[in-house]
Structure 1
């Protein structure tokens, strides 16, 4: 079964300095039919005005993944990390028993756009952690996040994995799935056909009880999707 969530059906919060689209219920947006999918709790598509950002705030018992698609994040946290996250790099912050951080648009002239993703951890508490890495732009499927951090991936405290799928014009990828697991696809850029469904930027698809799925690039620009494997 594949259930598509169109970009235009997402929730929205517009504060002037921040324009955010919510795939799942978040903040003032509440929809009991969209509270997350398996351990995947949040996918927010955030646009931040130049020089603006999120003041220091706290998180607890959450695995928080960020991917900048335009601009650069200036990050500071209570673990002592002072980092910049440019477009294309992945960041994973394990909140554990508690962490404070701030995120700002590093530019005073250009907008920032990034995906903020939350995954519920398998166990609560524990020591907070920070990871950041650029996995490149190789066509095809690239593992980004895994439960064991194998082969240089970022390690998440959940039986979940995240893959980056990049397909050039006329490209395709056949992915083997475990029918006992659940999968979620989030389109970042471009257009793909996933099985019988066409997905465009911002669309999502929840996938259950499939042993394989074919992805075919549609359109003239490179397509990028994030694929989550979930318990």
Structure 2
């Protein structure tokens, strides 16, 4: 099953300083058919005005991954962590038993981010935050950028406490890659930029694609494309915050 969800079909909200698009039900947007996908609960596509952001607020029992598409996002939390994640880099935050944080665009131009929330393997535990750059060479393969699996973490992936991983690929026009998922897993793909063909489906930038039950995915870039994919082995939704 491959369910193509065009960008225009996503939920949206105009907060003035924040232009938000929601792949799944979030805040004031509710769609009973889009409550999450496997262990993936949230995929927000946010544009944040210069000097604006999210003031200190709390989370618990959720793995929160932020990919900076343009500009940079600046983070500060109750653990004493502070950092700036520029475009093309990823930050992860394990909320654990509870953490307060703020996220601001301290740049002179708009910042654009993808923010993903993934259900944790189990509730509680120590909160955690980190950020890291990842290679963007167009080598036609997926790189695991964050993972709940020790083998991926040993190879350089940022750790999350979930039964899943986040993969990224940078493709030149005409490049193709093959992915053979476990058909029981849930996959969700979004291109930061570019356009690509997934098996028989033509996918544009910022469209969502929900996949399950497939054993063979053929991805061919029709333009230079940066692609993120979440693959989770869980199929449950807890009420993390």
In the superposition, the TM-score normalised over structure 1's length comes to 0.96
| Distance across 1 between alignment mates of 2:85 and 2:94 | 16
Name the SS for the 2:142 alignment partner: strand
- The equivalent residue for 1:138 is 137
Aligned partner of 2:226 in structure 1 is 224
Matched, 1:29 2:29: yes
Q: Distance in 1 between matches of 2:98 and 2:157?
A: 23
Specify which structure has the higher proportion of strand.
Answer: 1
- Contact 2:38-2:185 within 8 A present in 1 as well: no
* Deviation per residue, 1:77-105 (Å, 9 max, x gap): 00100111111111000000000000110
- Aligned-residue Cα RMSD (Å) equals 0.9
Written as runs of structure 1 = structure 2, the 5 A alignment for 1:1-231 is: 1-107=1-107, 109-139=108-138, 140-147=141-148, 148=150, 149-219=153-223, 222-231=224-233
Distance 2:145 2:74 in 1: 21
- Whole-Å Cα distance in 2 between the matches of residues 196 and 92 of structure 1? 33
1:47-99, Cα deviation, whole Å (9 max, x unpaired) = 01110111000001000000111111111000100111111111000000000
Shift of the alpha carbon at 1:180?
Answer: 2.4
Q: Aligned equivalents of 1:69 and 1:106: distance in 2?
A: 15
Unpaired runs of 5+ residues, structure 1, are none
1:211 and 1:41 mapped to 2: Cα distance? 23
Map of 2:237 onto structure 1: none
Gap runs ≥5 in structure 2: 234-241
| 4+ residue segments displaced more than 4 Å | none
In the aligned structure 2, how far is the partner of 1:214 from the partner of 1:21?
A: 27
Work out the number of aligned pairs and report it.
228
For the residue of structure 2 that corresponds to 1:152, the secondary structure is coil
